[in-house]
Amino acid sequence: MRPLKTVTLERFCSCHFGVFGRMAIGDQILFTCERPWEGNKPMVSCIPNGDYGCSQKWFNRGGYHTFELNVDDRSHILFHKGNTMNDTKGCILMGLNLGMHNGMWAVMNSKEAFEVFWNNLREYDEFYVDITGIYASPPISSD
């Protein structure tokens, strides 16, 4: 049996366009996009930093396999294709690079990024994701 693999997602930006990070998958860096922090509320918030188990899941609506993060008090948190935070309801989007899409900060080339992600991890039924970095914007000072 193969040992469980760990993937690190390091967030580096949190703003009104979303929360952005990077993951090393194989020999490639993928960029991620999530919704802004909203107290871990289902379908509207990025997830808290931490270590999470991740297991393969068949996603019927899209007709493809993906991975689902196992996060307390949440369900159906998937890695999937999309560009801006408007393309997700609490899931993690990925792209090969960063850019603008419809006037918003975005991850780009999402389909190709998902193929890199899937091709490097599909042999694992489960793996761990270690999520670090910033996810909540600091309060704005009134001074």
Contact 49, 37 (CB under 8 A): no
Give the CA distances from residue 9 to residues 15, 30, 60, 76, 139, in Å, rounded to whole numbers and listed in that order: 17, 9, 26, 18, 24
Strands (E), 18-61: 18-25, 28-34, 50-59
- Domain ranges in the chain are 5-133
Q: Which of 138, 62, 137, 48 is nearest to 90 (CA)?
A: 48
pLDDT of amino acid 1 = 43
pLDDT of amino acid 72 = 86
Give the CA distances from residue 119 to residues 64, 123, 131, in Å, rounded to whole numbers and listed in that order: 13, 8, 21
pLDDT mean values, one per 10 residues, the chain (143 residues): 78 95 93 95 93 83 74 88 95 97 97 93 90 72 49
